[in-house]
Structure 1
Amino acid sequence: MEKTIKLNGDELHLQYETGKITVAISRAQVSAAKNELEAGLTPDANLLSGTVTVQGDNVIWTYQRPAETKTIDELRKQLSRVEQLALLSNLAQLEKFEQSRVTVLIHPDNLVFDESFVPFVVHRGLRDIVPPKTLTPEQLLSQYKAFVLYVIANQRDFEQMAQGDFNRVRRTSFNQSIIEAADFTAVKALVDQALATERERTRATNDVVPKRRYRFYRYGFYTALVAVIALIGVTVYFTAFKVPFDDRMQASQKSYLSADYDAVINDLKHDQPAKLPKAEQYILATAYINTEGLSSVQKKNVLKNVSLQSDQNYLKFWIYNGRGDFKQALSLAQYIGDNQLILYIYTKLYEEANTNTSLTGDQKQTQLAKYQKLIDSYKKKLGGSANGLSK
């Protein structure tokens, strides 16, 4: 499948194939040697890994596409309104590139999303070197607005909207609010507000109460532990042919039963949370909670929410949090719709920014102010809780 992107004077040619996406750009548009281009392929949680080669008059980037990812065009007809808004909320993760040397292009053909609706940029540029050569706050804002309307209003003319032409957009109150939003944060706030409203409406309409995380109240810890061990036995039996994986599972189980939580974390440190059986997700989440910097009362309260019946996204939240992947943890907390977890992660992001020596003074103050504003907002929602977790 071939795609061509024309925006802000840049032209990119993308070829989607099984497991990979290639991007061709004319050498005339690229102002760097190959070694500098390779340096621009720095890994990031929201960027696909790739390689670069020079072929004749073109520079070719080849990006590895994870099997479970989909483009927005593959997704949007399948998504509920809640899922659409959750995806658009996650898309705000790309704001971090506004002041980066790496530039991104928010475009339907330049993004893929995983099963949790986390965005991955296919092709990224380098400022003044590789298209897209510029990424101003105004460009990022226009692209985010256009993407929101592309999904919510089912618009097709993305590139026109990204250049400020919203004449064809149906003027609902939400669409008009997005068009008139003054900055990136305002658009994100509108999306999050709509997401919260839609979740509440859906729950009221369907009389659905999110009780999955609270079923543990009917069970004691030891009952859950017996169930964990039983499920582990089944898991090991059916995966015995995967010897290395099986060895890690058995090691983590032994460590868990000995309450050696550091060993559990070490045993499973290379395993992706989504690839683990649910019993192992439970074990690993419990290990991270027990080693988290919380008071004994806080740990006790959090552990009450963790059981074999817990939502897998809730278990993965604590795993990603424990691994320091706060952006992914935030994405999961927002998807779950748990304000306590969201506030907790914003306090972590504030602390991370405050100790990030790679930021300039202005960048640090900007990030701290942004996170403090969000922290204050969620504290207010939760009645003044310090970090979102009960003391």
Structure 2
Amino acid sequence: MNLGSRMSLLLVALLSVPTVQAGRYVPWQAEGLSIPRPLGGLQGDPARGRAVVIDSHQGNCLACHRLPIADQPFQGNLGPPLAGIGARLSPGELRLRVADERRLNPETVMPPFHVDPRSLNQVAFAVEGQTFLSAQQVEDVVAYLSTLTEPGEAGTPPVAASPGNGLHSGYDYLKPETRAMQDDEFANPGMPTVDRGRRLFNAEGENGKSCASCHGEDGEGLDPARIASYPVYDPDSGRPRTLQEQINICWEDQLDNIPYVYDCTELVALEAFVRHRARGTPVQVDIDGPLRPFYEAGRKLYHTRFGQANLACTHCHDLHAGQWLRGQQLTQGQSNGFPEYRLGSGRITSLQRRFSECFRSFRAEPFEPGSQAYIDLEVYVNARGNGLKIETPAVRY
């Protein structure tokens, strides 16, 4: 297994909702900059705390912090290194930071590991009413961090060239070999989905017609600039219409077929084929007219914190793009490559499915595919990348 694949598998581990570590909230009282008394009167164990720190389904502190743990090569750099932290902060000060760093920094990206669940937004059903870490786990982590009294050598994140300032596709963050994979249509693992979409595009509908009847066998009659402008405003419904919705409308109205369920395999394949026809065309979503309110609604969602992790899209893709989340470099989260092939999951992923994956990484309950919330978010994210060229099917980690 190569380094890129291992990084991808680590990220996949971050995108799963746990079932064992969340616990019942134990109320605590802060005094100044610390929580002086152990949660629930519990005693922490440093060995258990080290295990929680390392485990990607538990504390996962290595996602953002570097620690003097030599056997853990993938360590992030979103937060400060923690070597020597036990000499700088008391157990009570550490306890407050682990339980709820927001008390010290309201803008923090550190999850509130032990707070009243009712204070959080749209927590995943699987962990609803529970804390991110149990009181015992918080005490174990505090006990472990308190042992880190020497400066030591913290692990370092992988080195990668920064793409610099400005607007950047995820392509700019790829390794040369992964770029070559995307650029070669014979090697690009997303092309079988495009080919499946082409077959559906040419398949006869219930009335004997096909998409090719209007747009040509290979979609040569499609307008790349129009494809690059989606979502567009639909005056009949008074709301945005995504490219998937437009394809589904034609599928039903022009071919007399039963419409597909939003984001199903067939509809994503058709979207991949159509978007591939516009490959190289700059994204240009028009938000100067009636789409503006939906853009603003999507922008608000993009900046809203969700889930047990209490994170928003902006934290990874605006504030920390280019930095490392364990073994994965964060990108700007641009949408110009969707539907895209993800090496970590080994499948084509639509933009709205990716939204859901990110919500699950926040331990938040996702919205439904095709919902107004996701459509608004798609308007914002696509317009946010105006000017980037369509790469469908992009290859990403």
Task: Tell me the TM-score normalised to structure 2 length.
Answer: 0.26
Question: Would you tell me which structure has more strand in proportion to its own residues?
Answer: 1
